[in-house]
Amino acid sequence: MSFEHDNTKPECIQGWEGQYTILPWLADVTAIPHVIFMVTTLKENGLPNASLQGWSCFTGEGDHYYVIMSSLGIGAHTYQNIKRTGEFCVNFLPAACIDQCKESIRLNQDDTDEITASGFTPEPSHTIAAPRIQESFLKLECQYEWEKELTPGSIGRMVCGKVRHISISDEFARSAVADRYGRDSFMFHLTGMKDPYTGQGLGGGIGHIELTREMDL
C-alpha cells in the first residue's frame, strides 16, 4: 500500500504557527535529504555575513557552472546582501561543524562578524569581495545571475549564481571516493519527517553519504 495524495495539506499535518506559509508541508512527508552549506556575503557596513543554507542544486555545462538556491527569504540578510553586491560564496563544511554553523542563526546582528562569531576564520576570496570560510574544504565564489519567485507574491526567491572561482583542499581533491563522502565531508539535512497518515513527527537529523558501490565511468 502507498500513501497517495495531491498537493493539498492533510488536516493531520500540523506545524508551528506560520510554518506551512513559508515552508512546504510536502517536504515533511517526502523527507528528501539535501546538502547544506554556509553562504557568506558582505553586509552594508562591510562585515561578513554567514548563513546556513540548503535546498539547492549545482548544475551547468562546459565552462558554465551554477549554484541555484531554491528559497532565500527576501527579508533575510543573505538575500539583501546578494542583491546589493551581486555576489556570494558557498562554503562546504563537515557535519562536525554543524553547531558552529547554527551559531550564525543566533549571532546575526548588523554589527557582528558572523564568520568569526561562529568560530570560523574568514579569508579573502579571489574574485569577489565577500570572504570565504577558511575551514571549508570546498568553496565556490559566485556572481549573481538571476532570481525567480517560487509562487506569485512569495516571500522567498530562487536565486542563481554563476561560479567564478573554486577552491578545493588538496586532501579533498585527491581523496578516494570512500573518503571523499564520509563523515568529514559534505553534510546532509535529513529532514524531520512526519507520518502522512497521522501527522506524528518521526524525527530528522544531520547525516553523510556512505559509499555502497564504486562504479566505472
- Domains of the chain plus CATH, in order, are 34-207 (2.30.110.10)
Identify the band that residue 107 occupies on the pLDDT scale cut at 50, 70 and 90: confident
State the CB neighbour count (10 A cutoff) for residue 18: 8
Residue 133: predicted pLDDT: 98
Alpha helices in 6-121 (DSSP H): 19-22, 26-30, 77-85, 98-106, 114-117
Q: Is the pLDDT of residue 156 over 70?
A: yes
d(CA 53, CA 39): 7
Cβ atoms of 69 and 100 closer than 8 Å? no
Dihedral of the CA atoms 74, 54, 126, 132 (nearest 10)? 90
Residue 103: predicted pLDDT: 87
3-class state of residue 109 by DSSP: coil
Q: Is the pLDDT of residue 29 over 80?
A: yes
Cβ atoms of 142 and 163 closer than 8 Å? yes
CB within 8 Å of 80: residues ≥ 6 apart: 74
- Name the grid cell of 40: 557568506
E strand intervals along 62-183: 64-73, 87-92, 122-123, 132-133, 138-149, 156-168
H or E, element range at 47: none
Residue 109: predicted pLDDT: 85
Which residue is associated with the grid cell 523527507? 31
Q: Is the pLDDT of residue 8 over 90?
A: yes
Q: Is the pLDDT of residue 216 over 80?
A: no
Span 173-210, pLDDT tens digits: 998 888 888 888 999 999 999 999 999 999 999 998 88
Cβ atoms of 53 and 92 closer than 8 Å? no
Span 160-176, pLDDT tens digits: 999 999 999 999 999 88
Task: Give the β-pairing of 201-207 and 156-168.
Answer: unpaired
Cα–Cα–Cα angle for 124, 129, 131, nearest 5°? 40
Q: Is the pLDDT of residue 217 over 70?
A: no
Span 37-96, pLDDT tens digits: 999 999 999 999 999 999 999 999 999 999 999 989 999 999 999 999 999 999 999 989
State the CB neighbour count (10 A cutoff) for residue 169: 14
